[in-house]
């Protein structure tokens, strides 16, 4: 009897074991099947997304191809315009050369010389008659060669470089030579003359008496001696007054 009981227990345990194995495997298969189904759904979603991206790329590619075709047509038109412009330019150049040759041939037969207006030098001050006596400095005394006080003179220009006395309005080339003969070579000499010395120079400028007072040499010389300039001096420097 006890052996029978043991066998029954063993059979029950064996049944439980078999049932656990069978039903446990089925549950595992269900779990695995559910996981595979989820993966399948994800793959399907990814496939749809890829198909959408592919469609977008195809559309963009079609737009690019269309734009490329449009640009190629524009380039062809531009090249045609450039070619036409080059032809027109060559024709115009040929016509210009023909006209120039015709004009040159005509000028060869009838040369045309440009009319250039002569540049007249500033008139040299006209010497005055020596016999004419005047009151140059306005002191009520008719000047003579003994009028006033003779200024300090030099036997030659300092360092052999005289100032350009022609920058003083009223002194032309001839009068500049006369000043050199009298011993006056520099602006500072003229600028330092006193009233009595001006009277002497006025009276001793042979042929040009009275020019110092008349043209105000001293004031001009003061500006030039100080390193300044005047409108007249600028013209002389540019060569617009004397040749």
For residue range 75-123, what is the model confidence (pLDDT) as tens digits?
A: 677 777 767 777 676 677 667 666 666 666 655 544 544 444 544 555 5
Residues 178, 134: Cα–Cα separation, whole Å: 20
Identify the residue with better confidence: 218 or 29. 218
Residues 6+ apart with CB under 8 A from 189: 151, 152, 153, 154, 221
- Measured in whole angstroms, the distance separating CA 48 from the mean position of its chain's CA atoms is 65
Hey, what are 150's tokens? 């003779």
Identify the residue with better confidence: 56 or 154. 154
Identify the residue with better confidence: 224 or 116. 224
Provide the pLDDT for residue 66.
82
Residues 218, 188: Cα–Cα separation, whole Å: 9
Residue 142, by phi and psi: left (phi above 0), alpha (psi -120 to 50) or beta?
beta
Identify the residue with better confidence: 208 or 107. 208
* Minimum mean pLDDT range among 49-53, 189-193, 199-203: 49-53
Q: Is the pLDDT of residue 183 over 50?
A: yes
Tell me the residue length of the chain: 243
């Amino acid at each position: 009897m006890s052996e029978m009981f043991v066998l029954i227990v063993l059979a029950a345990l064996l049944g439980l074991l078999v049932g656990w194995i069978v039903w446990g495997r089925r549950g595992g298969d269900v779990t695995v099947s559910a996981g595979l189904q989820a993966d399948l759904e994800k793959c399907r979603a990814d496939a749809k997304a890829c198909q959408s991206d592919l469609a977008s790329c195809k559309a963009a590619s079609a737009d690019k191809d269309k734009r490329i075709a449009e640009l190629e047509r524009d380039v062809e038109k531009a090249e045609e315009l450039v070619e036409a412009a080059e032809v027109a330019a060559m024709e115009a150049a040929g016509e210009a050369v023909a006209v120039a040759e015709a004009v040159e041939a005509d000028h060869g037969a009838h040369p045309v010389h440009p009319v250039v207006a002569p540049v007249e030098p500033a008139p040299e001050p006209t010497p005055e008659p020596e016999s004419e006596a005047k009151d140059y400095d306005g002191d009520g005394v008719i000047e003579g060669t003994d009028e006033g006080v003779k200024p300090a003179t030099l036997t030659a220009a300092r360092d052999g470089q005289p100032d350009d006395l022609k920058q003083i309005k009223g002194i032309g080339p001839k009068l500049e030579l006369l000043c050199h003969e009298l011993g006056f070579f520099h602006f500072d000499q003229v600028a330092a003359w006193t009233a009595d010395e001006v009277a002497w120079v006025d009276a001793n400028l042979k042929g040009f008496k009275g020019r110092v007072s008349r043209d105000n040499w001293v004031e001009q010389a003061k500006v030039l001696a100080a390193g300044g300039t005047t409108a007249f001096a600028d013209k002389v420097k540019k060569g617009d007054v004397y040749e």
